[in-house]
Amino acid sequence: MSEIKPNFDELFERVITYPDSEFQERLSELVGLEDQKARLTKILSLLVNPSGIENWVKKYHKDATKVVNLVLKRPPLVVLEGDVGSGKSELATTIGDAVARQEKIEISLLPLSLSTRGEGRVGQMTKLISTAFDYTIERAEKLKNKAGGARGAVILLVDEADALTQSRENAQMHHEDKAGVNAFIRGVDRIGNGKLPAAVIMCTNRLSALDPAVKRRAADILKFGRPNEEQRLSVLKDSFQELGLDEKQLKKVVLATGENSNREYGFTYSDLTQRLIPAIILDAYPNSPVTAERILEITINMQPTPPFQDKI
């Protein structure tokens, strides 16, 4: 009896289609990550729609065909690496909107579900990963345009990538996990060899745990850290000025969210936006206004998320 092919809904959390105003707004709210935004937009644009760089070279460097070919031969994989709450997953989820608008095409994001690891049965994870790439490639093939630019594109998103692509050099690694890594590598190579309008984004806070062959295939590895003082100011400024803080009061709060004598790390992006600001509002709601004194007190008493400890 032939094995039943996993259905689409088993593999992907949902399908996100860009451009989309919701994701455009969410992307704009990722302040302090302008360098990562710009670089990832360029990389993905070249991977899913190479006609852009072909037009660029015709305009500026007509004889640079070898250089362009080297750029276009890069595997269709980008790794986003950084600490918890650093914004990498949110950027991976929203960046497709910027690429879609820049390239004037429709892009589908397929977020791979963590359930893809399966239940440990022999061959299951390999089958699930292979099938996920089958669906991705099937969609991308329909969008390929032999005459030039892509008519659309597909991005496969693998969050917490170290759960699927741990290094095969680990002596304790199960053979089924190794087979899954092999399937993942084959999938990336299938997209690249087929010159399809598709790319893979991987997010991880354990870059060292990824298989070396996976890292070698990355067109780029973008690093994400905790926001520095300037970036924390960018995140908090608009919200706290709306609440009545002046520059001096805001400066105190920004400094309180950074490193200090009691800890060697500051707040993450998600600490600022998902914990601190809501905690301040909920503290005052519904019977009192927000005050600068209370904002600072809550900030000082809140502990940021500890850095991820990579224990290998």
Domain 8-224 part of CATH 3.40.50.300: yes
69 half-sphere exposure, CB direction, 13 A CA radius: 5
Q: How many Å apart are CA 129 and CA 127, to the nearest integer?
A: 6
Mean pLDDT by 10 residues, the chain (312 residues): 72 94 95 93 92 86 86 92 92 98 96 66 73 95 78 93 74 67 93 94 91 93 94 94 96 97 93 96 97 97 86 52
In DSSP terms, 110 is beta-bridged to 156
Nearest to 136 by CA among 215, 197, 180: 197
Write the CB contacts of 37 (distance below 8 Å, at least 6 apart in sequence).
27, 30, 91, 95, 98
Considering the entire predicted model, what is its pTM?
0.87
Q: What is the pLDDT of residue 199?
A: 97
The residue assigned the tokens 């259905």 is: 7
Nearest to 239 by CA among 299, 157, 197, 312: 299
Q: Give the full edge-to-edge strand order of the sheet including 220-224.
A: 16-18, 106-111, 152-158, 198-204, 77-82, 220-224
Per the structure block, which two tokens stand in for 117? 């690891």
Per the structure block, which two tokens stand in for 215? 């890292």
The residue assigned the tokens 């092999």 is: 182
Q: What is the pLDDT of residue 144?
A: 85
Q: How many Å apart are CA 93 and CA 129, to the nearest integer?
A: 20
The residue assigned the tokens 């039943």 is: 4
CATH 3.40.50.300, the chain: domain bounds: 8-224
DSSP state, residue 288 = S
Nearest to 220 by CA among 35, 76, 86, 85: 76
In contact, 245 and 253? CB cutoff 8 Å? yes
E strands, 138-262, in order:
152-158, 198-204, 220-224
Q: What is the pLDDT of residue 222?
A: 96
In angstroms, the first-to-last Cα distance of the chain is 41
Q: What is the pLDDT of residue 1?
A: 43
Q: What is the pLDDT of residue 173?
A: 60
